[in-house]
Chain A
Amino acid sequence: DAKTTQPPSMDCAEGRAANLPCNHSTISGNEYVYWYRQIHSQGPQYIIHGLKNNETNEMASLIITEDRKSSTLILPHATLRDTAVYYCIVPYNQGGKLIFGQGTELSVKP
Chain B
Amino acid sequence: EAQVTQNPRYLITVTGKKLTVTCSQNMNHEYMSWYRQDPGLGLRQIYYSMNVEVTDKGDVPEGYKVSRKEKRNFPLILESPSPNQTSLYFCASSSGGRDTGELFFGEGSRLTVL
Contacts and interface: CB of A to CB of B under 8 A. Distances in A.
Interface of A: 32, 34, 36, 38, 41-46, 49, 87, 89-91, 94-103
Interface of B: 4, 31, 33, 35, 37, 40-45, 48-50, 56, 58-59, 88, 90, 92, 97-98, 100-108, 110
Nearest to B35: A100
Contact of A42 (B42, B48, B58, B108): B108
B41 A97 contact: no
A94 B103 contact: no
A104 B104 CA distance: 20
B106 A94 contact: no
Given A42-B108, A43-B108, A44-B105, A96 B100 contact: yes
A62 to B, nearest CB: 13
Given A36-B103, A101-B42, A94 B33 contact: no
A98 B49 CA distance: 12
B101 A98 contact: yes
Given A32-B98, A99-B45, 5 more contacts: A49-B101, A95-B50, A97-B58, A98-B58, A98-B101
A96 B104 CA distance: 14
Nearest to A85: B42
A37 to B, nearest CB: 11
Contacts of B103: 36, 44, 46, 98
12 contacts: A32-B98, A43-B92, A43-B108, A44-B105, A96-B31, A96-B100, A98-B33, A98-B100, A98-B103, A102-B40, A102-B42, A103-B42
Contacts of B31: 96
